[in-house]
Amino acid sequence: MEILKNPNFNFLGTARYVVIVSVILVAGGIYAVASGKVRYGVEFSEGTQLVLQFQTTPAVDRIRDAVAAVSPGAEIQTFGNLADNKVRVRLGPQDREAGGGGTDPESDLEAAARAALAALANDYADNAVIESSAEIVGPTVGAELREKAILLVSLGLIAQLIYIGVRFKGGVWGAGAALAALHDVVVAIGVLTFFGYEITLNVIAALLTLVGYSVNDTIVIFDRARENLRQRRKVPMTELLNDSINQTLTRTVITSGTTFLALMGLYVFGGEVLRGFSFALVVGTIVGTYSTMFVAIPLVGLWYARRNKPAAPAAKAAL
The answer to whether residues 120 and 176 belong to one domain is no
Split at pLDDT 50, 70, 90, the class of 318 is: very low
Per-residue confidence (pLDDT) for residue 188, from 0 to 100: 93
The answer to whether residues 116 and 200 belong to one domain is no
| 5 part of a folded domain | no
Split at pLDDT 50, 70, 90, the class of 106 is: low
The answer to whether residues 242 and 288 belong to one domain is yes
Per-residue confidence (pLDDT) for residue 314, from 0 to 100: 45
The answer to whether residues 189 and 251 belong to one domain is yes
Structural domain for 239, as ranges: 11-40+142-307
The answer to whether residues 120 and 266 belong to one domain is no
- Identify the CA nearest to 245 among candidates 156, 176, 160: 176
If one counts the domains in the chain, the total is 2
Higher pLDDT, 153 or 213: 213
Split at pLDDT 50, 70, 90, the class of 319 is: very low
Split at pLDDT 50, 70, 90, the class of 93 is: low
Whether pLDDT at 96 is above 50: no
Whether pLDDT at 99 is above 80: no
The answer to whether residues 239 and 303 belong to one domain is yes
Residues of the chain with pLDDT > 70: what percent? 86
Average confidence (pLDDT) over 109-116: 80
Higher pLDDT, 109 or 40: 40
Mean of the per-residue pLDDT values of the chain: 83
Q: Give the best-scoring range by mean pLDDT among 120-124, 134-138, 190-194.
A: 190-194
Average confidence (pLDDT) over 109-124: 85
Split at pLDDT 50, 70, 90, the class of 46 is: low
Domain edge (last residue) among 137, 170, 203: 137
CATH number at residue 51: 3.30.70
Per-residue confidence (pLDDT) for residue 107, from 0 to 100: 59
Burial class (CB in 10 A: 0-12, 13-18, 19+), 193: buried
Q: Give the best-scoring range by mean pLDDT among 62-71, 90-99, 141-150, 278-287.
A: 278-287
- Identify the CA nearest to 90 among candidates 127, 130, 45, 121: 45
Split at pLDDT 50, 70, 90, the class of 116 is: confident
Domain edge (last residue) among 137, 153, 188: 137
The answer to whether residues 259 and 300 belong to one domain is yes
| 122 part of a folded domain | yes
Whether pLDDT at 109 is above 70: no
The answer to whether residues 170 and 276 belong to one domain is yes
Residues of the chain with pLDDT > 90: what percent? 27
Whether pLDDT at 277 is above 50: yes
The answer to whether residues 128 and 211 belong to one domain is no
| 68 part of a folded domain | yes
> pLDDT tens digit string along 208-221?
888 888 888 899 99
| 316 part of a folded domain | no
CATH number at residue 233: 1.20.1640.10
The answer to whether residues 36 and 179 belong to one domain is yes
The answer to whether residues 288 and 189 belong to one domain is yes
Domain edge (last residue) among 96, 113, 137: 137
The answer to whether residues 63 and 81 belong to one domain is yes
